[in-house]
Amino acid sequence: MFSDMIHALRQNQLPEEPPLKARLRAAIVKKMAILRQPYLFWPQDTKINPPARHLLWAAVLLQDKENFELAGDILVTEILESAAARHLSDPVAHRPQLISEQLDELISIVSDGKLKTQLLEQISFLHQVTHH
């Protein structure tokens, strides 16, 4: 669902905003519907069940504070439902760390120093807003 975004970033370019905004909106609707189902029924197809990290990345690129928060919540929920959460004593307390790990992955996709700096500034702004 976000392959164009990832491809653009790998080419050290920002994806076009209008299509990305529309994809993010659609992806959040899909993801919210999937989260209502038992984990065993979650589809593995990323076009149907987009990874929470991609929602988070799109929100960063769009500087969308509201959807950044929502994507962070979705990420934690996704992890809580998975086997990966079994080793976490309090996954919600680990929310900032879980988000940071996904944002580090976003930065690692980009090789251009200027674009990395721009993304880091956008991330810093969103983290400031969400973690007073």
pLDDT, tens only, 8-47: 999 999 999 999 999 999 999 999 999 999 989 999 999 9
CA dihedral 99, 104, 110, 113 (to 10 degrees): 120
Residue with tokens 């900032």: 96
Give CA separation, 41 vs 35, 64, 76, 80, in Å: 10, 30, 18, 15
pLDDT tens digits along 59-73:
999 999 999 999 999
Among residues 3, 13, 2, the alpha carbon closest in space to that of 110 is found at: 13
Give CA separation, 104 vs 41, 110, 119, in Å: 29, 10, 10
Q: Which of the four pLDDT bands, split at 50, 70 and 90, describes residue 131? A: very low
Radius of gyration of the chain (CA): 14
CA dihedral 78, 82, 88, 93 (to 10 degrees): 10
